[in-house]
A and B are shown apart, each in its own frame.
Chain A
Amino acid sequence: MTVYDRARIAPAAVPPGLADDVQDVHFVPAPCQVACPIGTDAPSYIGYIWEGKVEEAFEAIVATNPFSSICGRVCDAPCEPACRRADSDGPIAIRNLKRFIMEKLGKSHRLPVREVTRRETIGIVGSGPAGLTAAQDLAEAGFEVHVYEMTDRLGGMMIWGIPAFRLPPSIIREDIDRMLSHCPGIKVHLNTALGRDVTLEQLKSRHDAVLLTIGAWWGKTMEIPGHRDARVIDGVKFLRQVNDGERPPMPETVIVVGGGDVAMDACRAAMRLPGCKHVKVLYRRGPAEMPARKDELEGAVKEGIEIVYNTQPVEVVATNERFALRCVTTALGEPGPDGRRRPVNVAGSERDIECGLVIMAVGQKTEQDDLASIGLMADDRVRTTWSTMRTADPKVFAAGDGAFGGSTIVKAMFHGHRVAYYIKALLDGIPDPLPYRTPYRTRRVPVSQDPKWEIFSRQHQEFHGLGQKPVEFPEIESTYDEQAAKDEAARCYRCDAETGSADYSVKNREEIFVLARTKPTDGVTGPTALSSRLQPKPDPFGPEHQPNLEDIVFLPANLSRLVIDPYRDACNIRSRLAGKLDLGLPIMVTGFDDAASELRHAVSAAVKAHGSAYLGRRAIAPDATWLQVLAAPQDRPSADAAGFAVLAARALAAGIPDKAKTGQLAGIVATRAELPKALPLALERELDFIVLDGTVGIAGAWPELKGRPDYAVLRDAIRILRKMNREEDIALIYFGGVRSGTDTAKLVALGANAVVVGTAMGLALAGEIVGDELGFYSDTPADQRNDMAESFLRALSAEATIMARCTGKTNVFNLEPEDLRSITLATARAVGVPLVGTREVAAAE
């Protein structure tokens, strides 16, 4: 099976009622999720594990998997070979991570109770993973479900087929208890066998639908001479005995024939039984062809079991003197009907392997005389139509191993979900339901942020093998500890998650992956991908797009303008505001008038270090340059301030106050609405500067969080000045939404002589946005805080100068509007720069 096919990039529609997220343009089910027959949202639970959110991880796990605790230990985990990291340094240990979560919550955590809400009832024969999965789905849908089990306990092959050293019975009970408390509508009838205690006719009359999940209970044997000898037994039966608690003594040497999971369990169980010294597994193909899960095989080998490949028994030699299995060597021949190459016997390679017992684990079959008598069987299976999951009887459905042959727990659960869907459709009166498709959900968990995610190798679970007392079947492996689980979770690539690149979005990336792994001439993938590529993309901006300085780009130096060396050539950022005030950096700080003293200290240290200025009603420090904001009518210019700025409303009403000392700068603060009056006033009074307030009002608390910045205040100020032909007569200080040195460089290019940062500095000091306020909760040490403020301004300075250098300028103040273009019309209009690739300024809004 490949996960890189058409279905991945163009999944079929999922029927209504199934929770599915594939229509989300920012989600593609990961290879692991697609490889999982029940679509487990592994990337999400792995992400949650890294975040330490165990309950959320638990929810993601059990959402589609009623046997999560069991699967955490013994799932054959088709997700792992599909994991993209398998190609580099080993797949994520998805199963072990599931076990880690289930070990924590599997016993204690209960799911909300789902009561019976429907009249109809369903009878299910057999309580293996297929039957019970269907039971849960149908009970969740509100039906009462009756489960008929011929043995004395629930679980089917999960309990009878898997030895306790891999799967302790308590784990099975854990899952079943969770299911029964979650769904009280599931009624259990133990020791009730079909044909012996109840007939199909009875079930049909009791229930509105019947589901046969009767399993493949019987082992097949090899019809070779001597196979009826008492020392030849079948693997399923052997495991059933052992799993019932028996510990039969073994001869010194035991041979297991077969290469599947039953063979693995049987050989490992035999090895633990009293008297056994050697176990040999004979398999008729090579290691590459062996169907057993790699982990199991490795475990068996570690426990001292010998695997003999390319070997096939041909006769059981049983005489008075000796007991042996006669075998031949095989070679791989032509592919058979299943596509796998068939082993052919090599002539003259016969040899005898002496032993005391032969366990045949060569396949399973279903036998049910009652069903056979009414014609519901076909060979050794219940005859079932895959597309409807129905048998020949319209009221009777079938699923699982009994219907489709021996398989895995997770596939049986898939059958359970699938058949439940079709049964529900019948009971809902939908004659022709949409074909079932495994739904794929995502919980949109952020990617983990471990700096070593690229380096960590696959974490190993501690392996105990046979243990101290093998006959007691102690568990072979430990569960991850917290750290191992977190490190393993950090390794996940997150193939499901959106990337940092719009061009290589998750959808695009995964489509490329599929194309790279399919033939362009297969007639399917090519057309599918082309359809997807021809699908017009939504407008990346759209009418709701708000102007943003991020939409502005610089035109770099290249051929037509001399490139300078941004890494080395100097670039000046110093200036003299209004010809009077020296600024080491045209970035002032505001917003810390009422802040805690530690924050004020950090800001003042940064302002001093960079020769910048603080703009506010209060000075930030006696020795830091201060531009005083005069807001309230009683505010008077302070002699400590290098300058003052009167709010326009006050200035227009009450005029400009006198300077507190000679040489003091005087200015005005105006919003865009105030400009038409405030700017002429400032010019008339020959003020030194104007603070262009792009916020709801600089005098309030964190005004930049109260609305989007209005960049047009700068554009309009320049238009007014230009109209009056007085562009050089007043310095422009812009405030509102400045986040970076790049923003600064753009605003300088647009005509600002300096900018003011408020919220950005607050964030740099570890402030957190709460509503429309900034809160400071971290206990950062004072010296670190000082460093953060200083570093932030340094970074802004470096950014602003590198932008200037990239455009070929050795002075930030040589940047000009002609160096800019906008990538959106909204921003082009708001700031008055042309759209990229054009030269005309778009009409103003």
Chain B
Amino acid sequence: MATIDLASVAVREANQRIRDLAAKGEDIEVVNPDARHHIGVGLVRPVKLRIRGSAGYFCAGLTDGPRVEVDANVGWGLADNMLGGSVVVRGNAGAIAGVAIRGAEVVVHGNIGSRAGQVMKAGTLCAVGSANFMAGYMMYGGRIVILGDSGEKVGQDMTGGALFVGGRIQSLGTDATLTDMTEAEDAEIRAFLERYEIPFKGKFQKIVNAGKHLRYPRTEPRVRVMPYTVAASNDYWNARVREDIHVKAEIGRYRIRGYGAGRPLPHLTDIAFRKDVSAFDVPTDVIERVNMGTTLGDRFGAKPISLSMPVMIAPMSYGALSKSTKVALAMASRLSGISENTGEGGMTDAQREAAKTLIYQCLSGRLGWNIHDMQRAEGIEIYISQGAKPGLGGQLMAKKVTKEIARIRGIPEGIDLRSPSRHPDVLGADDLVIKVEEFREATGYRIPISVKLGAGRVRDDIKIAYKDGFDYVSLDGLQGSTGAAGHEVLEYVGIPTLSAIQEAMDALDEVGGRNKMPVVLMGGINDGVSAAKALALGAHAVAMGTSVLIAGGCIACLQCHIGHCVVGIATQDPEHEKRYNVPVEAQNMHRFLEHVRWQLAAVTHSLGYTDPHQITRDDLVALTPEAAAITRLPYVPTRRDGPVRSVKQAAAE
């Protein structure tokens, strides 16, 4: 057994040594742990790790397979997302012990803090002592065994799995209920206790989900969406308003649909280039003349994400989209030399193989989240919110929660999945600093870590992101789309993309971070011209989602939430998915991205630059009073008047 002394070694180095030793199959002992955070994070070998003392946050977090023993106490987030193996803590554990575990066995001989086992999917969390409030909060599966008292609101908003309480049940949480347990279950628990040498003679009470909140009680009538012009008219009680009222009177709740804000908003199309770009002939070799290569994410020494142009594929989940579509997106991203992003639903092997550069997103429900996929990603992104529904978690309607989706996400099949809105371990900005650190430990500080933010109070949020140590920010405006969200949230929560980038740059200027932390802008950016304007306003790159889906066959019917997508994109129904021709659509997406590249190059060249990052605000004017007020660009409405020449391609030189 090797010994690592944390009195003389930093955690970062200690974790590296632990991984190296584990790779050789050696057991490890950590002495003088001094309640340091992240001890053992990222360990994926079945070795024994003995911690001689107390550990801090996220002890044994993001691991698979090790057998960890802690002699004293641990801080919060014990065994975070542990897939397999075990942890035994001799003392007490802080809040969210066993958070998001997916198969591990976690035993705490003392008491456990609040929200133990939050969003766990599988495995066993056992407290020999008592639990604090909301044990099993939003758990999806597995079991929690509490030999002492339950704490208040036990099983609050749980979806699946069960809690077994040996002591007193202080109060049941919302949608939790007591039920009978079988002898087999009882025997299994007692065998578990015996295995961990925990004597217990008392009786258990079993708590499960009552099932009242898993599905929306009334199904929304399926209505194809009216033209956006209906709602954009000056007619106050227009047909869209009337339809909304009728539907709400039928279902008694807000309506749900796909896509983003549908109405016109102040946007990049409300600004123009000061020069008439169309007046310049575009040389046939324009792409060779403009340097489009873009890197992102080396603010803290990680290996940066390398893009052949300042464009990425926006995060979209497997779940909202079919597996075929995710693979087509991955193929297109490789063909065009840009990055693809997993979104919320986890990473499939097919997607991993198809993409060259794949960013792996971590959401609050930790659906599909695991250490192995983290380690095979080129970037990690912590999702705080998105432009389509900031302040709200993801929604995946029951029709799409198939067996396979349920498996990869670790949740029960066929529920109307409403993801939590907040990370179990990020209650404020300071928590995020430690979370970012955990991710860096888990991946050996190799890969960039970004944050995805829906645009709201951007000026303040960006400053926090800057201080929290992210490599870059993915900033998503109100125009950003989604597979399902409440109509009202899609339309009325958040600020438009145009104001988001302006506020972000103002904020970075205020803290001197303008050129230190890049911003990737997204939300309704769907061509190379808008991309060029976004770059001019300060974005380092843009991300495109919806437009790439349209290139790949989406018809913009906004019915993504229903799950019967007519072209096989936003569906998990095999009958519908087989309508999707992956290689053909991947080529279509690729060709569209190449057009975007050409447009971006043509604009850059026509403005007299050799790199789109050279375009600045000085090249822009505002066409509407709103855009002028938002961006503080000169308001030149007459710029609209001149006829736009047909762009010509110059003869080859």
Contact = CB atoms under 8 A, between A and B. Distances in A.
A7 to B, nearest CB: 14
Given A502-B264, A553-B493, A837-B495, A560 B460 contact: yes
A183 B37 CA distance: 90
Q: Which of A503, A544, A740 has the most CB of B within 10 A?
A: A503
Contacts of B244: 739-740
A528 B527 CA distance: 13
Interface of A: 26, 84-85, 87-89, 446-449, 451, 453-455, 493, 495, 497-505, 508-509, 512-513, 515-521, 523, 525-531, 533-537, 539-541, 544-546, 548, 550, 552-568, 704-705, 708-709, 737, 739-742, 759-760, 763-766, 769, 788-792, 794-796, 798-799, 802-803, 805-808, 821, 823-825, 835-838, 842
A194 B251 CA distance: 73
Given A504-B259, A792-B248, 4 more contacts: A512-B550, A553-B492, A559-B464, A795-B248
A796 B421 contact: no
By CB atoms of chain B within 10 A, which of A500, A527, A760 has the most?
A500
Given A515-B551, A560-B457, A562-B428, A821 B421 contact: no
Interface centre among B157, B224, B478 (most CB of A within 10 A): B224
B293 interface: no
A617 B499 CA distance: 47
A502 B236 contact: no
Contacts of B579: 87-89
Considering the complex of A and B, which 10 residue pairs feature the smallest CB-CB distances, nearest first? Answer: A837-B499, A500-B225, A540-B264, A806-B391, A791-B252, A560-B460, A88-B579, A498-B227, A556-B390, A556-B391
Interface string B523-551: 01011111000000000000000110011
B113 interface: no
Interface stretch (B25-33, B102-110, B178-186, B266-274): B266-274
Contacts of B551: 512-513, 515-516
Interface string B222-250: 11111111011010110001101110111
Contacts of B376: none
Q: How large is the interface on B (under 10, 10 to 19, 20 to 34, 35 or more residues)?
A: 35 or more
Given A555-B457, A764-B246, A517 B598 contact: no
Nearest to B462: A559
Interface in B587-602: 588-589, 591-592, 594-595, 597-599, 602
B457 A534 contact: no
Contacts of A802: 254, 392, 486, 488-489
A558 B249 contact: no
A533 B603 CA distance: 11
Contacts of A555: 456-457, 494-495
Contacts, number: 385
Contacts of A533: 527-530, 599
Contacts of A523: 284, 649
Contact of A454 (B229, B566, B602, B631): B566
A461 to B, nearest CB: 22
B556 A836 contact: no
B221 interface: yes
Nearest to B571: A454
B262 interface: yes
A493 B557 contact: yes
B228 A502 contact: yes
Given A500-B225, A527-B647, A534-B278, A565 B422 contact: yes
B457 A837 contact: no
B266 A836 contact: yes
A559 B592 CA distance: 35
Contacts of A766: 246, 249
Contacts of B321: none
A502 B249 contact: no
Given A527-B282, A534-B644, A823 B496 contact: yes
A528 B623 contact: no
A827 B629 CA distance: 14
Contacts of A513: 550-551
A501 B422 contact: no
Given A541-B264, A836-B499, A509 B421 contact: no
A568 B157 contact: yes
Contacts of A85: 566
A346 B494 CA distance: 70
Given A500-B225, A553-B493, A539 B284 contact: no
Given A502-B264, A837-B495, A825 B558 contact: no
B16 interface: no
B264 A560 contact: no
A504 B237 contact: no
Interface in B190-228: 221-228
B231 A550 contact: yes
A88 B567 contact: yes
A312 to B, nearest CB: 33
Interface in B259-306: 259-267, 269-270, 272-273, 277-278, 282, 284
Interface in B552-583: 552-553, 555-559, 562, 564-568, 576, 579-581
A568 B602 CA distance: 49
Contacts of A769: 237, 242
A502 B422 contact: no
B626 interface: yes
A37 B221 CA distance: 39
Interface string B338-381: 00000000000000000000000000000000000000000000
B564 A534 contact: no
B2 interface: no
Contacts of B500: 837
Contacts of B389: 806
B391 A539 contact: no
A501 B558 contact: yes
B24 interface: no
Nearest to B489: A806
Nearest to A533: B529
Given A504-B547, A550-B231, A558-B457, A530 B623 contact: no
B550 A520 contact: no
Nearest to B637: A539
A558 B499 contact: no
A528 B555 CA distance: 22
B227 A499 contact: yes
B612 interface: no
B171 interface: no
B460 to A, nearest CB: 4
Contacts of A446: 226
Contacts of B177: none
A2 to B, nearest CB: 13
10 contacts: A454-B576, A499-B225, A499-B227, A504-B526, A512-B526, A556-B494, A562-B422, A763-B245, A798-B253, A837-B496
A501 B259 contact: yes
Nearest to B222: A451
A530 B225 contact: no
